[in-house]
């Protein structure tokens, strides 16, 4: 079994897989009250099998797999020759540089199980067997609690094993160790908008592992990941590394609970070695970086049908008992012929917005490629199955927009508690919070997704889960002022960036704290950057962070049933921002990471329609008492 392998050297060398082993261990998707989709990858074209035991099964349920060759997952020549600082060249490539034809996908859809039960599965490939437990979803009428975790922007890649991210200084950061301190020497420094800042104590990979360990310790029912899960959807070593952490030698989180994923901008990017965003390149076999990324994503991620062929896996709906997760594709606004396309260059200098000016959301979240260019590129022989026009515009009237409205209406009619996820946070004080026509726009702002707000509020969406600015932020928008609105999260702190709020005067050389906060997002309620001050103290004569600050983490969501005798109340939703706090010794070696909770846990009450309701003080008290008796985890 690969999970018995030990990583023993500082250079993080991996023992190469023997031919024919699991390439990706089994991982779970598409949870339902009667089953699950099981997916795994092997390095050879060898059929496997899955056996399931548990409630209602007098004898094990046994199903075979028919592997498919996933040619789009083959390494490129650029990946073969890539060098990564601190790693032995090619050591991260499965089979080594030049290896091809070693990605075989196995999918088995099981829908014959009982709701709300724990089962054991064993996947067998040759003489190898992989066993884990999983749970089926409850029904929407018979349930007590649902727990899930939302995290994004892991942007994992082999480089993450040695890279420490720049640690944007937030509130309290003035007390940090200096740029010539032992801390800075140990972990390094970076230049952020012209200012020298510390790097985070954990590598991105170590940060991801620790964060996932916390997730695992809480045993959630499923994991929601709104995008940027790999550092390049078109970068195969990124996908290999993602699954090493989630269903491989570094961790087994997704072998035990299903993933519900959305595409982010990194999933439509192929990284430099494979042509980036280019739609006319020889660097990858599809001659199209965005398509290469999306096709790899669709090889690994399989979502329930959304009723379209072209847009399969882009946007989708999963019901988990009383909870509905609606996933949207926010990666592109644009239609053939140029409609909805936008870019910063459309707004000449002198006409651009400045400061807190805002004139509207805009129509596009990227300026890196157009739909026409995406659709025009040729596809090489052998890759014909990827030759379709799969981009899905999100603007009003689009196929995706109409689908979203239909699903929201249907979920509301069914009394579901609804969460929406997509990558580009519509409301953000961070890097990507500015519209395309603002002078400081990143060219990837999430504001176009604000167009959905009225729809979300109308249909009583409880919360929207996004990433992209990599900040950990909560915003609250209540358009009609009735006290009930929608909470929007940026949960993009799972493993990569730990960014801060946008500041004005972002020019080289200026001292970081002489730059005022831009405060572009008037709906912001909380950020880890500004609401959770770093607390530095001398511990054994060494300056240590003892609490607060920006760290890797995730949002934990608990939906708990309340006695229907308490007024019209039906459920309580608790949204808890969790962070993985590193405890260091006096030489700044990592002792452990601790699960800690930021000071912005919020509680929403839900009525029998599945809508969030205002919380009168007395009602809240009654509900609290009722919950004490019902809380079971
Ligand atoms: Fe992003």
Which mean pLDDT values do the consecutive 10-residue runs of the chain (633 residues) have? 36 46 97 98 97 97 97 97 96 96 97 98 96 98 97 98 96 95 97 90 98 98 98 98 97 98 98 94 93 97 96 98 98 96 97 97 98 87 80 98 98 97 98 97 98 98 98 97 95 97 76 87 98 97 97 98 75 98 98 98 95 67 44 36
Please answer whether residues 552 and 210 qualify as being in contact, where contact means their C-beta atoms are separated by less than 8 angstroms.
Answer: yes
For residue 388, the CA-to-ligand 1 centroid distance in Å is: 24
Nearest in space to 212 (alpha carbons), one of 169, 167, 242:
242
For residue 266, the CA-to-ligand 1 centroid distance in Å is: 6
For residue 176, the CA-to-ligand 1 centroid distance in Å is: 28
Neighbour tally for 350: CB within 10 Å = 6
For residue 267, the CA-to-ligand 1 centroid distance in Å is: 9
Dist. CA 307–CA 535, nearest whole Å: 51
In three-state secondary structure terms, 487 is: strand
Residue whose token pair is 């009619």: 413
For residue 24, the CA-to-ligand 1 centroid distance in Å is: 25
Nearest in space to 192 (alpha carbons), one of 449, 580, 506:
506
Nearest in space to 459 (alpha carbons), one of 503, 498, 412:
412
For residue 256, the CA-to-ligand 1 centroid distance in Å is: 27
For residue 354, the CA-to-ligand 1 centroid distance in Å is: 23
Dist. CA 227–CA 83, nearest whole Å: 26
Dist. CA 113–CA 477, nearest whole Å: 40
**Residue 212 phi, psi dihedral angles, 5° rounding:** -65, -35
Please answer whether residues 163 and 238 qualify as being in contact, where contact means their C-beta atoms are separated by less than 8 angstroms.
Answer: no
State the pLDDT at residue 89: 96
Please answer whether residues 51 and 59 qualify as being in contact, where contact means their C-beta atoms are separated by less than 8 angstroms.
Answer: no
State the pLDDT at residue 586: 97
Half-sphere exposure for 215 (CA within 13 Å, toward CB): 33
For residue 268, the CA-to-ligand 1 centroid distance in Å is: 10
Dist. CA 622–CA 615, nearest whole Å: 11
Give the DSSP H or E segment for 41. strand 35-42
Dist. CA 549–CA 583, nearest whole Å: 13
Nearest in space to 521 (alpha carbons), one of 488, 551, 549, 483:
488
Residue whose token pair is 């790693």: 87
Nearest in space to 179 (alpha carbons), one of 171, 530, 206, 192:
192
For residue 163, the CA-to-ligand 1 centroid distance in Å is: 19
Cβ burial of 109 (10 Å; 0-12, 13-18, 19+) is: middle
For residue 328, the CA-to-ligand 1 centroid distance in Å is: 14
In three-state secondary structure terms, 137 is: coil
Give the DSSP H or E segment for 215. helix 204-218
DSSP state of 445: -
State the pLDDT at residue 514: 79
CA-CA-CA-CA torsion for 482, 484, 490, 493, nearest 10 degrees? 140
Dist. CA 593–CA 598, nearest whole Å: 15
Dist. CA 27–CA 116, nearest whole Å: 19
For residue 231, the CA-to-ligand 1 centroid distance in Å is: 10
Residue whose token pair is 């607060």: 548
Give the DSSP H or E segment for 627. helix 617-630
For residue 422, the CA-to-ligand 1 centroid distance in Å is: 10
| Helix residue ranges per DSSP H, 349-475 | 371-376, 399-413, 453-458
For residue 153, the CA-to-ligand 1 centroid distance in Å is: 7
For residue 466, the CA-to-ligand 1 centroid distance in Å is: 9
For residue 265, the CA-to-ligand 1 centroid distance in Å is: 5
For residue 223, the CA-to-ligand 1 centroid distance in Å is: 18
For residue 351, the CA-to-ligand 1 centroid distance in Å is: 27
**Which residues touch 601 (CB under 8 Å, ≥6 apart)?**
574, 575, 576, 577
Residue whose token pair is 């651009």: 352
Nearest in space to 361 (alpha carbons), one of 431, 453, 477:
453
| Helix residue ranges per DSSP H, 449-602 | 453-458, 528-531
For residue 492, the CA-to-ligand 1 centroid distance in Å is: 8
For residue 432, the CA-to-ligand 1 centroid distance in Å is: 8
Gyration radius (Cα) of the chain, Å = 24
For residue 262, the CA-to-ligand 1 centroid distance in Å is: 11
For residue 1, the CA-to-ligand 1 centroid distance in Å is: 35
For residue 146, the CA-to-ligand 1 centroid distance in Å is: 28
In three-state secondary structure terms, 196 is: strand
Nearest in space to 447 (alpha carbons), one of 339, 317, 374, 353:
353
């Amino acid at each position: 079994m690969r999970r018995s392998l030990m990583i023993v050297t500082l250079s993080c060398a991996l023992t190469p897989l023997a031919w024919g082993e699991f390439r990706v261990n089994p991982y779970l998707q598409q949870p339902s009250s009667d089953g699950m989709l099981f997916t795994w990858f092997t390095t050879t074209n060898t059929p496997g099998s899955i056996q399931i035991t548990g409630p209602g099964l007098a004898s094990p349920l046994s199903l075979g797999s028919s592997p498919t060759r996933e040619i789009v997952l083959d390494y490129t020549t650029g990946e073969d020759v890539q060098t990564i600082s601190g790693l032995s060249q090619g050591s991260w490539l499965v089979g080594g540089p030049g290896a091809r034809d070693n990605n075989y996908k196995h999918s088995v859809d099981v829908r014959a199980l009982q709701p709300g039960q724990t089962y054991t599965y064993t996947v067998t490939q040759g003489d190898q067997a992989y066993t884990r437990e999983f749970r089926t979803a409850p029904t929407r009428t018979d349930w007590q609690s649902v727990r899930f975790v939302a995290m994004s922007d892991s942007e994992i890649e082999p480089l993450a094993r040695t890279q420490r991210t720049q640690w944007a200084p937030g509130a309290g950061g003035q007390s940090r160790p200096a740029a010539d301190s032992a801390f800075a020497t140990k972990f390094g420094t970076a230049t952020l908008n012209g200012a020298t800042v510390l790097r985070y104590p954990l590598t991105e990979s170590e940060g991801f592992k620790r964060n996932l360990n916390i997730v695992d310790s809480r045993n959630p029912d499923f994991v929601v990941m709104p995008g940027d899960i790999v550092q390049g959807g078109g970068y195969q070593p990124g996908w290999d590394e993602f699954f090493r952490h989630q269903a491989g030698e570094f961790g087994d989180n997704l072998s035990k609970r299903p993933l519900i994923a959305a595409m982010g901008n990194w999933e439509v990017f192929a990284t430099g070695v494979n042509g980036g965003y280019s739609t006319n390149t020889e660097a990858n076999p599809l001659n199209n970086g965005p398509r290469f990324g999306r096709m790899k994503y669709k090889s690994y991620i399989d979502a329930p049908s959304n009723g379209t062929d072209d847009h399969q896996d882009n946007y989708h709906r999963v019901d988990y008992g009383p909870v509905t997760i609606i996933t949207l594709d926010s990666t592109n606004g644009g239609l053939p012929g140029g409609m909805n396309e936008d870019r910063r260059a459309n707004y000449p200098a002198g006409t651009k917005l400045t400061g807190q000016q805002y004139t509207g959301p805009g129509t596009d979240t990227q300026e890196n490629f157009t739909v026409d260019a995406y659709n025009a590129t040729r596809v090489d022989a052998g890759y014909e199955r990827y030759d379709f026009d799969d981009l899905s515009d999100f603007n009003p009237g689009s196929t995706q927009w109409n689908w979203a409205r239909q699903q929201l209406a249907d979920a509301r009619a069914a009394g579901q508690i609804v969460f929406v996820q997509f990558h580009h946070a519509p409301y953000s004080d961070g890097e990507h919070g500015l519209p395309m026509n603002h002078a400081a726009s990143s060219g990837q702002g999430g504001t176009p997704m604000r167009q959905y707000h009225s729809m979300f509020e109308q249909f009583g969406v409880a919360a929207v889960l996004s990433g992209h600015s990599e900040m950990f932020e909560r915003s609250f928008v209540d358009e009609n002022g009735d006290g009930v609105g929608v909470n929007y999260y940026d949960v993009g702190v799972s493993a990569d960036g730990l960014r801060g709020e946008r500041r004005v005067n972002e020019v080289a050389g200026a001292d970081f704290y002489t730059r005022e906060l831009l405060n572009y997002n008037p709906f912001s309620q909380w950020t880890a950057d500004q609401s959770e001050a770093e607390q530095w103290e001398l511990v054994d004569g060494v300056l240590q962070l003892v609490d607060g600050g920006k760290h890797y983490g995730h949002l934990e969501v608990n939906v708990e049933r309340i006695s229907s005798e308490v007024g019209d109340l039906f459920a309580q939703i608790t949204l808890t921002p969790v962070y993985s706090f590193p405890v260091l010794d006096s030489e700044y070696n990592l002792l452990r990471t601790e699960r800690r909770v930021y000071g912005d846990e919020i509680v929403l009450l839900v009525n029998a329609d599945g809508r969030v309701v205002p919380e009168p003080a007395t009602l809240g008290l009654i509900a609290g008492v009722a919950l004490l008796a019902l809380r079971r985890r």
